[in-house]
Structure 1
Amino acid sequence: MDETQTSRLQAMALAPWFIFTALYGAVLWGLYAASLPRVFAAWNGGDYSYAWLIPLVMLYIARENRDALSSAPLDAPWLGTAPLLAGIFLFWLGELGGEYTLLHISAWFVVVGLLWLHMGRTRTRILAFPLFLFLTAIPLPDFLHRQITLKLQLVSSQIGALFLRALGVTAYREGNVIDIGYTQLQVVEACSGLRYVIPLLVLGLILAYFFRASLWKRALLVLSTIPLTILWNSMRIALTGYFWIDWGPQVAEGFFHDFSGWVIFVVSFGVLLGEMWLLGKMGRNGSPPGKGSRAASPQAGQAPEDESPIEEKGKDPGDTPAGSPLTFLGQRGQFARVAAALALLGCTFAVYRTVDFSPRIPIHRTLAAFPLEVSQWRGSRDFIEAKFVRELDVSDYTLIDYMNGKGESVNFYVAYYENQRKGESIHSPETCLIGGGWVFREAGASTLPVGAHGNGSLTVNRVVMEKIGQKSLAYFWFPMRGRILHNAYQLKLFNFWDALTRRRTDGALVRVLTPVGSGESIQEAESRLQGFLSQVVPLLDEFIPGANL
């Protein structure tokens, strides 16, 4: 066979795969295009800006393993339907539950499934690390991101205050605010350290991959990035407070602020390299990564350990030899797998585009008609700026300040959503309260002896919080289609289930807040708020749709 005939055969073998790749791309674009702007917006932000480099690292590692990939057999390809089906399930969980992160993870599973279907188990295993690495580029869910950020803010504030005292500066910490006499340093979200923790964790993973050491040493290297980053970030906060005394507020902004962030990253990288050197001196090390040595990759011409060199489990009849230049391009079984994958993804796309699982459910009565007089309470209605209403995506809301004859006040807020889709779901009040400068002293679920929404009791989120000497008690919960929910995980799960089984995702947020007066105990404020709820909550059933429309 001359060179011209060989080239023609190769072109004929490749032509169908260009078509199949285009079909895969079209279906995946139809399923996930709406979620891509969310990813790119996160990558353009401060916490995930490193993610633009992840695909380049993945390509480099894949190229380093090209010899192992070309010599590996196509084994057990049909097992790739497992991650493909998992991806489809997560797609519906994210789509109906209104969670972008699940959609992004779904896309990852689908791609892994397609690679497995057309490359086999061994090749996919060789690419396991770069594929896993891409998961680190997926933004965390908003509610989880906020929780981690808040915890890092508090930890960094605590350690930063300790460092300031060690430097001889009098420092008093309250929440995420450090008072050093001259000024107050507030450890905001941008200074929480999260934008250093995640990139350094990713860097630790990459270094561990190339580290010629045993598993426990590589694991220690990766895990050490978290306390290391928190420590350096706390020291940065302390030095900001220390130099503020002589240099003023410019040390907390502009060039100094950005430069100190880069110093943290560079110093932490140097510490990780030093840690690798020390660990490398301890005991015996593992085998070097090499080309294809990761994930138990076979040597050229060899079958995997769990397969016979004569017969490869799961290999399609008629498959080309492992070393052939047309490996996995000219195999008869590939067309069946393409058809199966396109059928699964195509059906998912068809249902996604034709069935509305979350139609709008109008409120029974507009919340603008909620009574301003309830028993001994008299209220005045307030309004939210239009731009914030658009940002919250609420269908209807009411915001009322009630006061009784004793001058005691309660702030009452209800937001209703006709449906909840990804990016248009209920916003927890925790975000607004923390963003408004409130520091949570106590937070958790609490069951109140208040009959509400057809139940004899009411389970709510209870929060005791402070801000600049003020103390308040707040309750909030989510009436959802006859259920009373109180956390974000419940919201996502029941949105998915009810969209699937009842074609409903409508729901509401109810939040009540009362100030704790000077000399007043939390128990007194608690009694006032529960008394108010016993009068107000039963009225909500006239407005918010329940289990039955």
Structure 2
Amino acid sequence: MDTRDLPAKTAGPNQSDTSASTHHLRWQIVASVLVLVCFCALFWEWLYRQHQFSLNQIEDWGHAWFVPVIAGYMIWLKRGELAGKQRSVFWPAIAIIPASVAIYITFVIWFSNHMFQGYAIVLAALGTALFLYGPRVFPLLLLPIGYLGFAAKISQRPMEILTFRLQRFAAVGAEMLLEVLGIFFGYSTSRLGNTLELVDGDGISHPLNVAEACSGMRMVIAFLALGTAVALIVCKKWWQRVILIALSVPLAVGLNVVRVTVLGLLSLINDKLAQGEAHSIVGILLLIPGLGLFFGLTWVLNRIVIDSNADSTKSTKPAGSVRAWALRALPPTRAAITVVCLLLVSRIVFYGTVKSLRIQLQKDPIYPASGQAVSTIPRETTSWVQIGIDQVESSEVVEELGTQNYVSRNYEEKHAPEGREKRAVQLHVSYYTGQIDTVPHVPDRCFIGGGMGLKTAMHNVPLNLNISRWMLDDDVPEDWAGRIYTAPTSYFGSGNGNRVRLPLDPEHIELRLGSFTEAQRDETVIAGYFFIANGQVAASPDQVRLMAFNLTDTYAYYAKIQVTGSSTRGIQTEDDLVEAAEGLLSEILPDIMLCLPDWVEVKFGRYPPENTLKEQNTDPASAG
């Protein structure tokens, strides 16, 4: 038989279907990857800032790196259920995506807040999931995607309220445990506020928690995220999840008690074992027993009520081949491309808005033209002279302070009126630049954390500085006209009497003032502070964040200036401190300004040399 008479061989239906499904799957994969890439590109600035928070504050926010991995694992565990649900494109949900982007832009431009920006991103992810998979599949994705909220750094104010009080509980618990162990190891323990001190048998002191006394308890959100992950993955009943999540905070306190106790025992061997990286490693390692405790609690909760249908609630692997499952699990190609287009348009709108409003999403660091650190301010002025040596903080305290450019120096009056003793105060100046959402350390938090009691509530008091040598500066931007003065530096310092610009409206500087009690010394400590941020003065940390991180400024800096006195050094009342601060700052403020950038030069684009304003045809009065 001639083979030419045989019918041509054709592809069977199974082969044709397989080829078509493979082609369709490839497009689904490409579209899905594009959705992820465009989503990350739209919110890239936020992702980078969160990465910086996690990198610089690893004990508090290092867990954020693992939150997306845990969320993805939660979805993977539900792959069998997801494959069994009917997927459908839910067009009404597409409105959630631009609405979320609008919320994100609002909290970037008009009400800058990193936490709410993060929550807007989570809302955008939820809207994307609802649109691509429909209301039948969405309930399975709700909790894993919502869990991504743990990746957002919480704003400082609510964190202070939560963790500062928990830090006190942890310090008290650690004191009790260390006292018990001290019976066996031969040391004594004392506590002052959130700080602990161990004294060994040789009389050597080993302080603990000094650096973090005013920062609040570490790793609270990390333990809460860990407990929530275990609750969502392991627990099947809603009441079990509620109990486990509610126990996360008490467990965090308990493990911090263990953490401080371990650090205390290590300090008896070698102080360096309780400092620096070793200090952080101990905290991170406690996540391991923390995870074990959560699983132990889950085991107990599962034994309280025996579920006869427990086996049926376990995740099952999807039926069929991996290709068939992927076809059902990945979003439809056209719907995914729709999301890609929407995200691209959103990015164009977002950056168009940023450019039109001249907003700088990233701040560049800036340093004074003199190149001088704040520690170079004069040790003597016309009426004041340094006593003792500059206070040098430990590396842990410096790390907590957030800058190495600081000075803490004691000054005493050269002469005092007849019938009054000489007054002595400590002047503290610290300089910050190029940092993200840095929160200044202030006495009303740090002193209390160190064991002092608040005697009078913090309040603002005007500073009446000596203006006799001030001169109005005419070479200023139009919006600052009549509000900038120059004053001569001291001949005792490197300024050699040269005139420098003072901050905006220096006649309106207010000192934020408060009195504190030192119980162990029967002493009253009075402290007042203010800030200079981007050439302007502020009396509160909240004002600093608004000034130093003004969205239209390319650069950002702030300096904290604090004057502290005590009843043992001639400062009996708040009026005494204000009078001493006025006298010292009237003479030394120009020298402090020599160690800060001249913001008039920055606004004009004349400094620093790489300032882009000099290349723009813009009104310097409206740009920074």
Range class of TM-score, shorter chain? 0.5 to 0.7
Residue equivalent to 2:460: 447
Contact 1:39 1:139 in 2 (8 A): yes
The one-letter amino acid of 1:127's match is L
Which runs of structure 2 are paired with 1:131-530 in the superposition (5 Å)? 131-140=145-154, 151-166=165-180, 169=183, 170-175=188-193, 176-180=195-199, 182=201, 183-188=204-209, 197-212=220-235, 214-235=237-258, 237-238=260-261, 248-250=268-270, 253=273, 265=287, 267-282=289-304, 290=313, 325=328, 328-331=331-334, 335-352=337-354, 356-357=358-359, 377-378=383-384, 392=403, 403-404=412-413, 405-406=415-416, 407-412=422-427, 423=435, 428-430=440-442, 440-442=452-454, 445-448=458-461, 450=463, 458=510, 460=512, 462=514, 464=516, 472-478=525-531, 485-492=538-545, 499=551, 508-518=558-568, 524-530=572-578
Letter in 1 for 2:31: W
1:317 corresponding residue in structure 2: none
Q: Are the equivalent residues in 1 in contact too, given 2:460–2:512 (CA < 8 A)?
A: yes
Could you report, residue by residue, the CA deviation over 1:453-472 in whole angstroms, capped at 9, with x for unpaired residues? 58989462636487997974
- SS class of match (1:27): helix
CA 429–64 in structure 1, closer or farther in 2 if over 3 Å, else same? closer
Quickly say closer, same or farther: Cα 1:278–1:7, change in 2 above 3 A.
Answer: closer
Instruction: State how 1:41-120 maps to structure 2 within 5 Å.
Output: 41=55, 45-70=58-83, 71-74=85-88, 76-82=90-96, 85-87=99-101, 89-90=103-104, 93-94=107-108, 105=119, 107-120=121-134
Q: 1:108-152 CA deviation, whole Å, 9 max, x = no partner?
A: 444444434433455444222222333334445578767766555
Query: Which residue of structure 2 aligns with residue 319 of structure 1?
Result: none
Q: For the residues of structure 1 that align with 2:327 and 2:364, how far apart are their CA atoms?
A: 56
Shift of 1:57: 2.8
Q: CA offset at residue 62 of structure 1?
A: 0.8
The amino acid of 2:74's aligned partner reads I
How many Å separate the matches in 1 of 2:427 and 2:189? 37
More displaced, 3-12 or 142-151?
142-151
Q: Is contact 2:160–2:216 with CA below 8 Å preserved after alignment?
A: no
Larger mean CA deviation between 131-140 and 56-65 belongs to 131-140
SS at match of 1:428: coil
Distance 1:253 1:473 in 2: 35
Counterpart Cα distance in 1 of 2:19 and 2:181: 78
AA matched with 1:348: F
The 1-side partners of 2:170 and 2:438 are apart by 30
Q: Which residue identity is paired with 2:384?
A: R
Who is 2:614 aligned against? none
The CA distance in 2 between the partners of 1:23 and 1:231, in whole Å, is 41
Mark the CA change 1:343 to 1:117 in structure 2 (over 3 Å): closer, same or farther: farther
Q: Is the 8 A contact 2:513 2:529 kept in 1?
A: yes
Q: Work out whether residues 223 and 248 of structure 2, in 8 Å CA contact, stay in contact via their aligned partners in 1.
A: yes
Tell me if the contact between 2:192 and 2:450 (Cα under 8 Å) persists in the aligned partners.
Answer: no
Residues 431 and 88 of structure 1, relative CA distance in 2, 3 Å threshold: farther
Q: Distance in 2 between matches of 1:250 and 1:360?
A: 40
Q: Provide, for residues 444-494 of structure 1, a one-character-per-residue CA deviation record: whole Å limited to 9, x for no partner.
A: 631326569589894626364879979743222346689875544454457
- Of stretches 115-124 and 362-371 in structure 1, the one that deviates more from structure 2 is 362-371
Q: CA deviation at 1:10?
A: 0.9
Gapped regions of structure 1 (runs ≥ 5)? 294-299, 301-321
Residues 153 and 187 in structure 1, CA contact (< 8 A), matched pair in contact too: no
Deviations 1:85-129 (A, max 9, x none): 435544563578776656655554444444344334554442222
Quote the Cα distance in structure 1 between the aligned partners of 2:377 and 2:56: 42
With normalisation by structure 1, the TM-score equals 0.66
**Is residue 175–residue 189 contact of structure 2 (8 Å, CA) maintained in 1?**
yes
Pair 225,65 (structure 1): closer, same or farther in 2 beyond 3 Å:
same
CA contact (8 A) 2:54 2:60 kept: no
> Structure 1 residues 171 and 343, CA, compared in 2 at 3 Å: closer, same or farther?
same
Structure 2 distance, partners of 1:336, 1:121, is 18
Q: State the alpha-carbon separation in 2 of the partners of residues 449 and 292 from structure 1.
A: 66
TM-score w.r.t. the length of structure 2 is: 0.60
| Count of aligned residue pairs for this structure pair | 503
Amino acid at match of 1:526: E
- Measure the CA separation in 1 of the matches of 2:382 and 2:51: 50
What letter is aligned with 1:173?
A: R
Find the counterpart in structure 1 of residue 475 from structure 2.
Answer: none
